[in-house]
Chain A
Amino acid sequence: MLKLIKTMDFKTICFCLFFILFSLIITLLSDLIFGSISTNFVKVLGKTLMLCLAAIALDLVWGYCGILSLGHFAFFALGGYLIGMWLMYERTKEIIIQAFAEQLLPPTPSEIKEAIGIQIFGVVGGSEIPSIWIFADYLFIHLFLIIFIPGLLALIFGWLAFRSRVTGVYLSILTQAMTLALSLYLLQNDSGLRGNNGLSGLQNIPGFTSFPQSIISILFLWASTLALILGFIIATFITKSKLGKLIQGIRDDEDRIRFLGYNVETYKLFVFVISAIMAAIAGALYYPQAGIVNPSELAPIASIYLAVWVSIGGRGKLIGAVIGAAFVSLISSFFTSGQIPDLNLGFIIISWVDWWLIILGLSFVIVTLFTPGGLISAFENIYKRSFER
C-alpha cells in the first residue's frame, strides 16, 4: 500500500484525499448522524460520482485517443442492466419465499421459479424466465458479466470499425447508431429485459432488506467514491505510461505512429475496451442508486450530454472531465428538478426546465469559443497569470 502511494503523483493524492474527505463530510451530514441532508440528495451525489467516472472513461478515448464515442451510455446502461438483473431476481425470490412461508407445504424450486417469472415478466405478458436470465441467481457471475459483456461489445464493435479505418465524425456516427440500435432492441417486449419498463426496484439490495435506505445510500456513496478513485488512478497510470503518449500521438497524427511501426488499431482497441469497461462499472454502481434502468437511458442524447460535460470541463485532462461532469450534471438536476420558480419577465415566462437546455447549449458554445481547453484550462490560465504577477 505504501509502495503504491509512493508511485502516485501529487495530483492523484490530492484527488483521492479530496473525494475521501467529501464522502466523510457527506456521511456526517446525512440522515445517519446530523441529518442535514436528505437520503435522496446523498443518492444524487453518489450518482454524480459515477457520472464523473463515465466522464473519465470518455475522456480516455476522446481526450487522449481522439475517438469521439457518442455511444458510451450504451456501456453505462449495460452495466446497469447486468447488475439490475441480479438485484431484481434475488429481491423477487426473497419476497416469494416469504409469501410461500405461510403455506403448510414448502414450495418446490420449480414453483419458486414459476412465481418469479410471473412476478417479473407479467408486466410484458410473459411468465417464462428468458434464457439470458440463466445466471441471475449468481452474484459473482453477474459481477463478471458487468466487465465481460460491455468489454466484448466494445471489442467487436471497435475491431470492425478500427480495422476498416473508420475515423473522425464517421466513427462518432457509428457509435451513435450502436447505442440507438441497442436501445431500440431493449424496447421490445420480447428482448427478455422487460421492454420499456426496464428493470426497477433496484434500490432494494437483496440480503440488506432490513437496512433503511439511509444506510444503503451511504454504502453506495462510499462504493462510488472508491470506484471513482480507482478509475482515476488507473486512467492516470495509463495516460502517464509510454502507451499514454502513444495514444495521444494517435490522436495527433495516426499515420506518424503507424509508420513508426506501432499497430495503431490494437492501441485504439485497447483504450476503447478499457474505457467501455470503466463506463459499465460506473453504470453498475449508478443504477442501484437511481432505482430503475430502462431503454431511454441508452438514448443517443444521453451519450451526447456526456461528451458535452467532458468538453465543458476540459478534455485531455482527467480532472477536467471530472469537474465538467460533476458541475454540469449537478446544476442540470438543480434546474430540471422544478424547485426554482419560473421567472416572469412580463412578455415571456421562463420556465427553467425548458430554458436550462438553452443555457447549457450557450455555455457549451461560450466554452468552445473562449476556452477550447474547457473550464480546467481557464482555471489554469488564471492561476498562471496571478502567479506571474
Chain B
Amino acid sequence: MSDILEVRGISVSFDGFKAINNLSFSIGQNELRAIIGPNGAGKTTLMDIITGKTKPDIGDIRWGKNNISLIKKSETQIAQLGVGRKFQKPTVLEYQTVEENLMISLKNSRGFIQTLIYKYTEEEFTRVNEVAKLIKLNKILNKIAGELSHGQKQWLEIGMLLAQDPSLLLVDEPAAGMTNSERTNTATLLKELSKTRSVVVVEHDMDFIRQLNCKVTVLHEGSVLAEGNLDHVSKDNKVIEVYLGR
C-alpha cells in the first residue's frame, strides 16, 4: 500500500508554545485513520498544516505518487490537488439551498472566467442527486442550508466534500452534536467512503472511534504518542496516563 500523504518531522510554535513538535506519520491509499488526543494535543493544528492554513516552522509534507511537497502551496492549490476538509463547526453556505451547496462543490472549473460562463451538465445534476441520496438530503434539495438541523449540516458538509471528490478527506469531529443513530450512520458512511479514498477522522468520542474500527494515532503535546488499533493503544501505559486514565 503506497502512501498518499507523508508528514515528515514537522514542528510549529505559536509565541513560543510548541503546538506541533517533530511530528511524523503517514496515511496510506484508501486508508481510514482516526486521530485522537486530549485538548491542545495539536489535532486541529495538524489539519491546518496539511491543508495549508498554517505553515510549519520546519519539516515537510509529501503528497501522492509524485511526492509533491505541500509546504509551499496555498490552501486553494492543496484543495485542487485533492485534499478535502470538513471543519469542526459545520461550515456550509447558510443562505444557499442544499442543491446550490452541492453544485458549487462539484469538481469542475475553478478559474473565474470559466465560472462566469459555466453551464452545468446533465451528468453533474445526476451526480448531485446521487450525493444527496447518500447523505439522505435528497428530499430537501431546495431547502436553505441555514434551516437544516445540526446533524444535517454536518452531513451536508460531508456531501460537499464528496461532490468535490478529493483523494484525501480530513474530517474534524464529525460526530459532535449528533444523536446516537446519526453517529452510527456517520460511521457507516465514513467507512463506505474509505473504500474509494483515504479518510482521516479527528475525534474525541471513543465509542465513535470503536465503530470506525480502524488504525488509531494518539497525539500528545504535538507528537505521536502511540499508533495501532484501538485495543492496542488503549492498553498502552503512556496513553492511559495522559488520556484515557484522566
Instruction: Report if B84 contacts A (CB, 8 A).
Output: yes
Most buried by B among A248, A252, A260, A262: A260
For the complex, what is the distance from the CA of A241 to the CA of B115, rounded to whole Å? 7
State how many angstroms separate the Cβ of A277 from the closest Cβ of chain B. Answer: 15
17 A-B pairs with CB atoms under 8 Å apart are: A238-B116, A241-B117, A241-B118, A242-B120, A243-B115, A243-B118, A253-B92, A253-B94, A256-B91, A258-B75, A259-B51, A259-B85, A261-B80, A261-B164, A262-B76, A263-B76, A267-B112
Q: Nearest chain-B residue to A262 (Cβ)?
A: B110
Instruction: Report if B148 contacts A (CB, 8 A).
Output: no
Residues of A241-297 contacting chain B, CB below 8 A: 241-243, 245-246, 248-249, 251-253, 255-264, 266-267, 270
Contact across chains for A252 and B75 when beta carbons are under 8 A apart: no
State how many angstroms separate the Cβ of B72 from the closest Cβ of chain A. Answer: 16
Instruction: Report if B23 contacts A (CB, 8 A).
Output: no
Most buried by B among A238, A256, A267, A270: A256
Stretch at the interface among B59-67, B96-104, B125-133, B175-183: B96-104
Which 3 pairs across A and B sit closest by C-beta, in order of nearness? A261-B79, A243-B115, A242-B118
Query: B-contacting residues of A (Cβ < 8 Å)?
Result: 238, 241-243, 245-246, 248-249, 251-253, 255-264, 266-267, 270
Instruction: Report if B87 contacts A (CB, 8 A).
Output: yes
Contact across chains for A259 and B84 when beta carbons are under 8 A apart: yes
For the complex, what is the distance from the CA of A245 to the CA of B106, rounded to whole Å? 13
Contact across chains for B76 and A249 when beta carbons are under 8 A apart: no
State how many angstroms separate the Cβ of A259 from the closest Cβ of chain B. Answer: 5
Residues of B24-79 contacting chain A, CB below 8 A: 51, 74-76, 79
Given contacts A238-B116, A245-B104, contact A258 B92 (CB under 8 A): no
List, in ascending order, chain B residues with CB within 8 A of A264's CB: 76
For the complex, what is the distance from the CA of A261 to the CA of B84, rounded to whole Å? 9
Contact with B87, one of A241, A246, A249, A255 (Cβ below 8 angstroms): A255
Given contacts A260-B79, A261-B76, contact A253 B93 (CB under 8 A): yes
Given contacts A242-B118, A245-B96, contact A270 B104 (CB under 8 A): no
List, in ascending order, chain A residues with CB within 8 A of B80's CB: 261
For the complex, what is the distance from the CA of A354 to the CA of B238, rounded to whole Å? 74
Instruction: Report if B105 contacts A (CB, 8 A).
Output: yes
For the complex, what is the distance from the CA of A27 to the CA of B73, rounded to whole Å? 59
Q: Nearest chain-B residue to A266 (Cβ)?
A: B112
State how many angstroms separate the Cβ of A67 from the closest Cβ of chain B. Answer: 15
Contact across chains for A245 and B100 when beta carbons are under 8 A apart: yes
Q: Nearest chain-A residue to B83 (Cβ)?
A: A259
Instruction: Report if B160 contacts A (CB, 8 A).
Output: yes
List, in ascending order, chain A residues with CB within 8 A of B95's CB: 248, 251-252
For the complex, what is the distance from the CA of A305 to the CA of B109, rounded to whole Å? 38
Contact with B112, one of A243, A248, A260 (Cβ below 8 angstroms): A243
Number of interface residues of B (CB under 8 A): 29
List, in ascending order, chain B residues with CB within 8 A of A258's CB: 75-76, 79
Contact with B164, one of A238, A260, A270 (Cβ below 8 angstroms): A260
List, in ascending order, chain A residues with CB within 8 A of B160's CB: 256, 260
State how many angstroms separate the Cβ of A268 from the closest Cβ of chain B. Answer: 10
Contact across chains for A241 and B75 when beta carbons are under 8 A apart: no
Contact with A249, one of B104, B109, B120, B164 (Cβ below 8 angstroms): B104
State how many angstroms separate the Cβ of A373 from the closest Cβ of chain B. Answer: 11
Contact across chains for A249 and B115 when beta carbons are under 8 A apart: no
Interface string of B164-204 (1 = CB under 8 A from A): 10000000000000000000000000000000000000000
Most buried by A among B74, B75, B94, B103: B75
List, in ascending order, chain A residues with CB within 8 A of B115's CB: 241-243, 246
List, in ascending order, chain B residues with CB within 8 A of A251's CB: 95
State how many angstroms separate the Cβ of B7 from the closest Cβ of chain A. Answer: 19
For the complex, what is the distance from the CA of A95 to the CA of B75, rounded to whole Å? 61
State how many angstroms separate the Cβ of B51 from the closest Cβ of chain A. Answer: 6
Q: Nearest chain-A residue to B85 (Cβ)?
A: A259
Given contacts A260-B104, A270-B112, contact A252 B118 (CB under 8 A): no
For the complex, what is the distance from the CA of A34 to the CA of B164, rounded to whole Å? 63
State how many angstroms separate the Cβ of B169 from the closest Cβ of chain A. Answer: 12
Q: Nearest chain-A residue to B84 (Cβ)?
A: A259
List, in ascending order, chain B residues with CB within 8 A of A267's CB: 112
Contact across chains for A245 and B116 when beta carbons are under 8 A apart: no
For the complex, what is the distance from the CA of A255 to the CA of B160, rounded to whole Å? 14
For the complex, what is the distance from the CA of A248 to the CA of B115, rounded to whole Å? 13
6 additional contacts (CB under 8 A) given A241-B117, A242-B118, A263-B76: A242-B120, A243-B115, A245-B100, A259-B75, A262-B110, A266-B112
Given contacts A241-B118, A259-B51, contact A249 B75 (CB under 8 A): no
List, in ascending order, chain B residues with CB within 8 A of A245's CB: 96, 100, 103-104
For the complex, what is the distance from the CA of A246 to the CA of B93, rounded to whole Å? 10
Contact across chains for B92 and A256 when beta carbons are under 8 A apart: yes
For the complex, what is the distance from the CA of A253 to the CA of B115, rounded to whole Å? 18
